[in-house]
């Protein structure tokens, strides 16, 4: 939706709507910084505050946009939504009644399992009376007749209505697909385009299951078109034309013909606006049918080719598309280089974490750990450290502690003192939050031993951590020995945040500092 806004909204109006929220919105859409180089960097915040700040920024942006014109958001297939998306939707729902903002979400209740994130979100929204649920029942037989009339422009024979209703059980998409299938088979209309008068039920051979109907339709588009659409299906529900072209599945002219034919057959839909040609499969079932016709090795090989084509196409900007590249390399399995897959998974996780999508970041870090070779000790330590931070951000403190301790041990073995000091700092905070103050002080001292006597920002952070944790534990002698040096380094560095922390808390007074 944000990408669509950048293509269709007047730049001045968009920048006005973004306002002071631009740094937060740019976390979700980094391309905004290319449009508006004046967007400042967001403030550095702890993870538990970062997500709230991001959500509030999004809400402020949307409320300003809603002042210009009412906003309607349609979120399709919410049964597949991830945690971070649903958390943002919940936040917007809290404020939507105060703004000219309406959110319409669709989901299939047959796929709504109790463990799915949407089930929890729906329960919360309905309990707070922030959502109104509308059950869309399947079409009645007479309404199926009305739909066939709308599709053909003519009154359908009652017998045909009965057959289509029986086969589709009134599902609108299925009605359309069965109608298209029978029409393409030449079983519905005569040479003048009117309903055949000699139509008989025995002729209406409708395959069982709509996937088979879609498969029959795809069989008629020709081998070249199917190959092109198969490549597009691997890319995703939404795909760029030039990316399909870069895969070289069919000749350029044949690809143009294939996409034109697929659009006329309503298998894909083109998108308006923007410089690149984008298309979307008319229904996810069409894409899934194409994918089911490929063997697993071919699908894996195609995912690898998509990733390689994306790297060529995006060039130096490839890392901006890390999430897509990570997806394709991960799906490529053993066909892809494990180190490259892990690299893009880690990049995608870093980007998700920066956008406060901590659940997504955690999943991606775990995938990266899964594929990274065991002998990549340094890379595994880095992933373990970052996974620990992600675990902490989602409230899994004990798991976070285990990862941070393992990462610290690994960096000690690798003899990387500065990295060890960074991990020790986070470990000291984690131990303090767990109420294990003595261990927290020891962890900070471990970091101080690694960083040495050089007066740096990192040393200041570790002195502060050790001093504050010791003070909170009542060990004022230790705090007194550490905090004055932290205050001095903060003054020398001119680091406002560190200076505030070093001079502004009760721990300084308790430690007996005369500088407060």
pLDDT digits (tens, 9 = 90+) for 38-79: 999 888 777 768 888 888 888 889 888 888 888 898 998 888
Q: Of 279, 288, 236, which is closest to residue 259 (Cα–Cα)?
A: 279
pLDDT at 515: 41
For residue 213, CA distances in Å to 100, 220, 499 come to: 42, 11, 68
pLDDT at 113: 67
Residue in 447, 415, 417 with CA at minimum distance from that of residue 431: 447
Q: By percentage, how much of the chain surpasses pLDDT 70?
A: 92
Residues 6+ apart with CB under 8 A from 496: none
Rounded Cα distance between 278 and 269, Å, is 9
- Kindly state the percentage of the chain with pLDDT values over 90: 35
Exposed, middle or buried: residue 481 (CB in 10 Å: 0-12, 13-18, 19+)?
middle
Q: Which residues, in sequence order, are CB contacts of 223 under 8 Å at separation 6+?
A: none
Q: Which residue do the tokens 């699908």 mark?
A: 299
Confidence bin at 499 (pLDDT 50/70/90):
low
Overall average pLDDT of the 356-377 stretch: 93
φ, ψ for residue 6, nearest 5 deg: -65, -25
Distance from C-alpha of 420 to C-alpha of 449, rounded to nearest angstrom: 10
Q: CA-CA distance, 228 to 254, in Å (whole number)?
A: 9
Using only the alpha carbons of the chain, give its radius of gyration.
Answer: 29
At residue 140 the predicted structure's pLDDT band, cuts being 50, 70 and 90, is very high
| Contacts of 107 by beta carbon, 8 Å cutoff, 6+ apart | 77, 78, 79, 118
pLDDT at 312: 93
CA angle 500, 506, 509 (to 5 degrees): 100
Cα–Cα distance, 42 to 380 (Å, whole number): 29
DSSP code string of 29-90:
-TTHHHH-TTPPPPPP--HHHHHHHHHHHHHHHHHHHHHHS-EEEEE--GGG--HHHHHHHH
Residue 135 has, within 13 A of its CA and on its CB side, a CA count of 4
What are the two backbone dihedrals, phi and then psi, of residue 45, each rounded to the nearest 5 degrees? -135, 155
For the ranges 160-164, 241-245, 299-303, the lowest mean pLDDT is seen at: 160-164
pLDDT > 80? residue 495: no
For the chain, the straight-line distance linking the first and the last C-alpha, in angstroms and rounded, comes to 50
The answer to whether the Cα torsion of 9, 11, 16, 17 is positive or negative is: positive
For residues 332, 333, 338 and 341, what is the CA-based torsion angle, rounded to 10 degrees? 40
Q: Which residue has the tokens 């721990």?
A: 507
Lowest mean pLDDT among 98-102, 118-122, 211-215, 394-398: 211-215
* Cα–Cα dist 85/98, whole Å: 21
For 504, the token pair is 């502004």
The stretch 475-481 carries a mean pLDDT of 85
When pLDDT is averaged across residues 12-31 and rounded to a whole number, the result is 88
Rounded to whole angstroms, the Cα distance separating 331 from 236 reads: 12
Q: What is the per-residue pLDDT for 299?
A: 93
CB atoms within 10 A of CB 173: 13
pTM: 0.76
The Cβ of residue 128 has, within 10 Å, a number of other Cβ atoms equal to 11
pLDDT band at 111 (very low <50, low <70, confident <90, very high): low
Per-residue pLDDT tens over the stretch 320-354: 899 999 999 999 999 999 999 999 999 999 999 98
Q: What is the pLDDT of residue 204?
A: 66
Whether the pLDDT of residue 516 is over 90: the answer is no
CA-CA distance, 206 to 218, in Å (whole number)? 15
Predicted confidence (pLDDT) at residue 362 exceeds the cutoff of 80: yes
Taking only the tens place, the pLDDT of each residue in 233-276 is: 999 999 999 999 999 888 989 999 999 989 988 889 998 766 78
- Cβ neighbors of 349 (< 8 A, separation 6 or more) are 360, 361, 362, 364, 365, 368, 386, 390
DSSP state of 188: S
Whether the predicted pLDDT of 513 surpasses 60: no
Q: For the chain, give the mean pLDDT.
A: 86
Binning pLDDT at 50, 70 and 90, where does residue 508 land? very low
Bridging pattern class, strands 101-105 and 71-75:
parallel
Query: Does the pLDDT at position 507 exceed 50?
Result: no
Q: Which two tokens stand for residue 11?
A: 């730049």
Residue 206 is predicted with a pLDDT of 62
pLDDT band of 202, cuts 50, 70, 90: low
Between CA 430 and CA 332 the distance in angstroms is 37
Instruction: Count how many residues are written for the chain.
Output: 516
Task: Compute φ and ψ for 101, nearest 5 degrees.
Answer: -135, 125
- Give the model's pLDDT for residue 295: 92
Q: Are the CB atoms for 141 and 161 separated by under 8 Å?
A: yes
- Residue 129 makes CB contacts below 8 A (sequence gap 6+) with none
Per DSSP, 269 falls in state: E
């Amino acid at each position: 939706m944000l990408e669509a806004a950048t293509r269709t909204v007047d730049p001045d109006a968009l920048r006005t709507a973004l306002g002071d929220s631009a740094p937060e919105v740019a976390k979700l859409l980094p391309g905004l910084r290319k449009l508006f180089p004046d967007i400042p960097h967001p403030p550095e915040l702890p993870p538990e505050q970062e997500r709230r700040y991001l959500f509030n920024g999004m809400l402020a942006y949307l409320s300003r946009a809603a002042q210009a014109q009412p906003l309607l958001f349609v979120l399709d297939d919410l049964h597949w939504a991830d945690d971070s998306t649903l958390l943002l939707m919940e936040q917007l729902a809290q404020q939507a009644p105060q703004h000219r903002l309406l959110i319409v979400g669709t989901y299939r209740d047959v796929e709504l399992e109790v463990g799915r994130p949407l089930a929890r979100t729906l329960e919360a929204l309905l309990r707070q009376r922030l959502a109104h649920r509308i059950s869309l029942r399947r079409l009645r037989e007479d309404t199926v007749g009305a739909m066939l009339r709308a599709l053909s422009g003519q009154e359908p024979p009652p017998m045909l209505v009965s057959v289509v209703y029986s086969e589709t059980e009134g599902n609108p998409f299925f009605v359309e697909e069965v109608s298209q299938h029978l029409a393409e088979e030449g079983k519905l209309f005569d040479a003048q385009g009117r309903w055949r008068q000699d139509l008989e039920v025995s002729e209406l051979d409708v395959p069982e299951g709509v996937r088979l109907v879609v498969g029959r339709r795809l069989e008629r588009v020709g081998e070249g078109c199917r190959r092109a659409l198969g490549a597009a299906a691997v890319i995703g529900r939404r795909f760029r034309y030039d990316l399909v072209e870069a895969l070289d599945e069919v000749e350029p002219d044949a690809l143009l013909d294939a996409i034109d034919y697929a659009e006329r057959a309503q298998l894909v839909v083109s998108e308006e606006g923007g410089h690149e040609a984008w298309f979307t499969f008319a229904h996810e079932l069409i894409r899934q049918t194409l994918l089911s016709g490929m063997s697993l090795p071919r699908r894996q090989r195609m995912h690898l080719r998509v990733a390689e084509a994306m790297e060529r196409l995006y060039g130096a900007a490839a890392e901006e598309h890390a999430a897509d590249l990570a997806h394709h390399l991960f799906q490529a399995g053993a066909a892809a280089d494990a180190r490259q897959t892990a690299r893009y998974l880690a990049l995608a996780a870093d980007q998700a974490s920066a956008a406060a999508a901590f659940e997504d970041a955690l999943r991606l870090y775990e995938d990266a750990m899964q594929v990274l070779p065991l002998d990549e000790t340094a890379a595994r330590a880095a992933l373990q450290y970052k996974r620990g931070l992600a675990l902490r951000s989602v409230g899994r403190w004990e798991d976070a502690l285990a990862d941070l301790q393992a990462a610290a041990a690994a960096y000690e073995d690798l003899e990387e003192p500065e990295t060890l000091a960074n991990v020790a700092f986070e470990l000291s905070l984690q131990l303090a939050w767990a109420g294990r103050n003595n261990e927290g002080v020891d962890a900070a001292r471990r970091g101080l031993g690694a960083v040495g006597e050089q007066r740096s920002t990192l040393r200041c952070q570790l002195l502060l951590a050790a001093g504050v944790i010791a003070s909170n534990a009542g060990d004022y002698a230790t705090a007194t020995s550490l905090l004055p040096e932290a205050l001095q380094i903060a003054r020398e560095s001119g680091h406002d945040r560190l200076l505030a922390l070093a001079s502004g808390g009760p721990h300084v007074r308790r430690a007996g500092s005369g500088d407060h």
